Each structure stands twice: as C-alpha cells, then as structure tokens.
Amino acid sequence: MKLTIDRRTLLLASSAALIARPSFAAETHTVEMLNKDPDDSKARMVFKPNLVVVQAGDTISFVGTDRGHNCEVIDGMVPEGAEGWKGKINDDIEVTLDQPGFYGYKCTPHVGQGMVGLVIVQGDGMMDNLEAAQSVKQRGQAKKRWGAIWEEAEAQGLLSA
C-alpha cells in the first residue's frame, strides 16, 4: 500500500495541528537580575528587561546573573485568581503565566533601591487588573522606577484596550 500526500493536504494538516495545539507557540523569555545595568552605568539593582510582554502560556525565566537577588510578585499586582511566585535568594526561577493581566514583581532585598519589574500577559481580560496594579503604593526608588515602567508601557500602547 502506497500513501501519497500532496503539498496542499500536508499544509492544511500542519496548520490544523498548530491551531489545535497552541502550546507550540509558547516561548521562554529571560529576565536577568543584576547589580548594575550593562547599558546604563548609573542604573543599579535592576531586572533586565524590567518590562516584558508575553502571551498566555509563555514562561519567564528569572536568572540570577549577579548573586544576592530573588524575584517575587508584589501583593496586589497579580490578576485575580492567578498564582504568584516567590523565589529564594540566589536561585533562578521559572514562571509560566497562563492568565492575562499585569504582574508586578520585585527583588525583596533591593525593592527600596528600585529593583522592580512588570510582566504583561496579553489576551482576553488583560486590562482587568490594570487599575489595581497601578494603585499599589510604592516606596523609595521603586516609586520612581514604577513611574518609568508605566510610562514605557503607555508609550508602547499596552495600557489601552
């Protein structure tokens, strides 16, 4: 028995498989935890990048390039019903985010020095926790850094539906 598949049938079958299994499209994004920004000698205690835009199902890998850091969500800056995370000092952590919305995170020992960041997971319901995330009170250098992060997100058109 000989099975012959023409190009059109193969393309249709491949497309159907990709639509049925969107996990093929999932990506891993890397965020470094650094003592200083290699691109800005004045910026200390940073996540690089500090604004990451992903799709639901993507993974973010927080890598301790420099020692003495961790990554954990900030209370009130996670979509309702979504799981947060809390990494240990000096440990890398991977987080897969399935729920659209805004996820604020910090380095616990360096949050006062402005070591914060934001993951925006795009998709239906993304805007549901924007107001809550923006209203979380920030202190010290974190307040200034959050202002810059929100401005960058606005400039990229990420804060409007």
Average pLDDT over residues 61-72: 97
In degrees and rounded to multiples of 5, residue 112 shows phi and psi of -65, -20
6 pLDDT more than 60: no
* pLDDT tens column, 22-49: 545 789 999 999 999 999 999 999 999 9
Q: Say what the pLDDT of residue 26 is.
A: 87
Hey, how many other C-beta atoms are within 10 angstroms of the C-beta on 143?
A: 13
112 pLDDT more than 50: yes
**pLDDT tier at 161, thresholds 50, 70, 90:** low
Q: Are strands 116-122 and 51-55 parallel, antiparallel or unpaired?
A: parallel
- For residue 47, is it left (φ>0), alpha (ψ between -120 and 50) or beta? beta
Residues 55, 84: contact at Cβ < 8 Å? no
For residues 6-39, one letter each, b for 16 or more C-beta atoms within 10 angstroms of the residue's C-beta and e for the rest, the string is eeeeeeeeeeeeeeeeeeeeeeeeebbbbeebee
* pLDDT tens column, 124-156: 999 999 999 999 999 999 999 999 999 999 999
| Among candidate residues 43, 39, 118, the one with its CA nearest the CA of residue 73 | 118
Average pLDDT over residues 66-91: 97
Average pLDDT in the chain: 89
